[in-house]
Chain A
Amino acid sequence: MLNPKAQSPMDLTIEDVLNSRIICYPFKMLDCCLYSEASAALILAPEEKVKELGIEKPIWITGVGAANTDCFIGNREDMGRLYSNINAAKVAYKMAGLDYNKIKQQVDLAELHDAFSGQEVISYEELGFVPFGEGGPWIENSFEKPGEGPWINGEVPCCPSGGLIGCGHAVGATGIMSTGEAALQLREDAGKHQVTIEKGRAIAHSIGGPGAAYAAIIVMTNEEGLKQP
């Protein structure tokens, strides 16, 4: 684990995960986050204030999207999906001037809500990185292939911080943590888990509420990203 602030740093193999205790089929213990207690904070300011104070390396929020699906899971059309993710992503991308169908080429990284490993995989699909059903193959086909997949040196590095499984899941604070992590990445201040910043844009994603009905997505941009189309 490259993130010194992570609560559950572990050097794991696929076998370690498969051999860990089963919790709820098909999730093993190492597929699940550590339910934790922590706090997180962001400092937000309007454009004028940032300029007045002469803040160095500010990160701009250029897109915000939030959506709900049925809290009652039994009333959802497809119970294995979170349609709120799709709607929140489309709203946030549109506000930021990005294209849902080309989002993979338009961002440098994404900090996703991976309280359980499966959530990260469906998020790849719902946030538009890969088509429905292609999240798993996106991982499987990109092992040890730099420039491909969701890895730290991949197409779109996802959760380079370690995500909720690596960092611990302090419910209520994790969305702020993910947003802060993405901001540090865009400022190239992330440290050992720094990813390459070329486009100057990142996505922070969080879900919550009964049945994870609520989804929120923030698109962030550094000074360079603002100049890019």
Chain B
Amino acid sequence: MSKQDFQSHEIRDIIKINYKYTMGGQSKFFIEVMNNKKLLGTKCTNSNCGKIWMPPRINCSECYSPTEWIEMKQTGTIEVSTIVWYTTSAFIKSVPYSIGFIKLDGADTALFQGIFSENLVPSKVKKGRRVKAVFSKNREGKMTDFFFVPEDEYERWIAKPEYEGGA
């Protein structure tokens, strides 16, 4: 058969891969979110440091001492935020939504998380705004199990059938 006669026949198909990944030393954070609607941070055990990490760090990134788990408040303040209009397929149904760094009350570092609002305008999510955590009823132990809402919208959000308040 000459090269000119050759025709390639192509079929479009899908490859599926099942896999697991572990949250490692931070697993307790995700288990507590899933089972108990709690937000856990870590506190450095070095008495000279005592930095409170949220999201949790297993060892203090400041002084490298081990940390211990502590329960955090579920209210906090927005440090920086943006409103997302362009995103991946996983979040496309939520556009527009806000994401930002939220410093939970008592924490020394800020957590990167979604901020939802019924009336999402930039002033709702600007620096200094108070927010509170809302949990999905159907939780899988992922970061998407919870999000933050402006404090004055909290009661309305937890009244929705798919969401509930934290512990």
Contact = CB atoms under 8 A, between A and B. Distances in A.
Interface in B64-121: 79-80, 82-86, 101, 103, 108-112
Contact of B82 (A21, A25, A74, A75): A25
A22 interface: yes
Contacts of B79: 74, 79
A172 B84 CA distance: 26
B122 A24 contact: no
A46 interface: no
A24 B101 contact: no
Contact of B122 (A25, A74, A80): A25
B106 to A, nearest CB: 14
Contacts of A171: none
Interface string A62-93: 00000000001111000110000000000000
Contacts of A72: 61, 109
A75 B86 CA distance: 26
A26 B110 CA distance: 21
Contact of B109 (A21, A24, A25, A75): A75
Contacts of A79: 79-80, 101, 110
A40 interface: no
B55 interface: yes
Contacts of B103: 74
A25 B83 CA distance: 5
A74 B103 CA distance: 8
A72 B60 CA distance: 13
A23 interface: yes
Nearest to B80: A79
A74 B111 contact: yes
A23 B82 CA distance: 10
B85 A25 contact: yes
Contact of B85 (A24, A74, A80): A24
A82 to B, nearest CB: 13
Contacts of A74: 54-55, 79, 101, 103, 109-112
Contacts of A22: 85-86
Nearest to A26: B122
Interface in A26-48: 26
Contacts of B109: 72, 74-75
24 contacts: A21-B85, A21-B86, A22-B85, A24-B82, A24-B84, A24-B85, A25-B82, A25-B83, A25-B85, A25-B122, A72-B61, A73-B101, A73-B112, A74-B54, A74-B55, A74-B79, A74-B101, A74-B110, A74-B112, A75-B110, A79-B79, A79-B80, A79-B110, A80-B80
Interface of A: 21-26, 72-75, 79-80
What 10 A-B pairs have minimum CB-CB distances, sorted nearest first? A25-B83, A74-B110, A79-B80, A74-B109, A23-B86, A22-B85, A24-B82, A75-B109, A79-B79, A74-B101
Given A23-B85, A25-B122, A75-B109, 5 more contacts: A24-B82, A24-B84, A26-B122, A72-B61, A79-B80
